[in-house]
Amino acid sequence: MTDKASRYASYPSLSVRRVLITGGASGIGAALVRGFVEQGARVAFLDIQGEAASELVVQMAAAGLVQPRYWHCDLTDASALHAVVTEAIAALGGLDVLVNNAGNDQRHRTDEVTPEQWDSLMAINLRQQFFVTQAALPALRASGGAAGGASVIHMSSIAWRIPSIGLPAYVAAKAALVGLAKTLAHEEGIHGVRVNSIEPGAILTEKQKRLWVTPEYSAEILARQAIKRHLEPEEVVRLALFLAAEDSSAITGQSFIVDGGWV
């Protein structure tokens, strides 16, 4: 465990949990992979960014951490998705936690979106989350009877609550993920599977800094947040760890905001 991580909560129940994370090669996803590994969990992650994924695995090995397992996967390829998820779960020996983190906040103007672009944005921001969950459910149900149950976490966004402008398909998809979590929580609770969602605000990932965070936008973020500092990916991870652990065994169908008080 890193010095920074040692300042925060440790969850003994996570040390025996098998965790699958989508979009785990960079940003919040990479922080999730590291966070669960530091808790002792067995971790597999899916991503299309092979180079970034390999670099993450090497970095974790250099830090003396157990290496997570990586599967290259285009999550929008519905025909291949089920097989990859099934293979990753088999390698883990089952599944206790699924974190649907992958997404793409590509900007797009309402009057310029084509049907093809709409479908593409929904494929990465909504459709794949459903079908990854569908593929994982048999394994999650199998482990759901254990203490704390199985846990599914959807990574939504405050984008639909603000609401954000300039990315309407993304906003629609992130709102839908909260609804999906609620209905799945009621469908799967009988099997001991809990389903919640997390809604991050403006999290300062490398991608955000590279593509979107200008001095003007940075000032706007701080003006709107109650907490006057930029938020880091690890601050989202700490909530995900709690929702995956037995400590949250009575919590399901809920959505939690991590935004420094923006909403």
Scan for tokens 């701080």, then name that residue: 222
**What is residue 156's three-state secondary structure?**
coil
Q: Among residues 177, 187, 75, 189, which one has the least CA distance to residue 135?
A: 75
Is 70 catalytic? The answer is: no
Respond yes or no on whether the N-terminal peptide bond of residue 163 is cis (omega within 30° of 0): yes
- Alpha carbon distance 71, 74 (integer Å): 10
Length of the chain: 263
Residue 179 is which amino acid?
A: G
Strand order in the sheet with 97-100: 69-72, 42-47, 18-22, 97-100, 150-155, 193-200, 255-258
Radius of gyration of the chain (CA): 17
Residue 238 is which amino acid?
A: R
Are 23 and 46 in contact, with CB atoms under 8 Å apart?
yes
Instruction: Please identify which of the residues 8, 11, 70, 170 carries the catalytic annotation.
Output: 170
- Alpha carbon distance 113, 121 (integer Å): 10
100: number of CA atoms within 13 Å, CB side? Answer: 32
Residue 218 backbone dihedrals phi, psi, to 5 degrees: -60, -45
Q: What are the catalytic residues?
A: 170
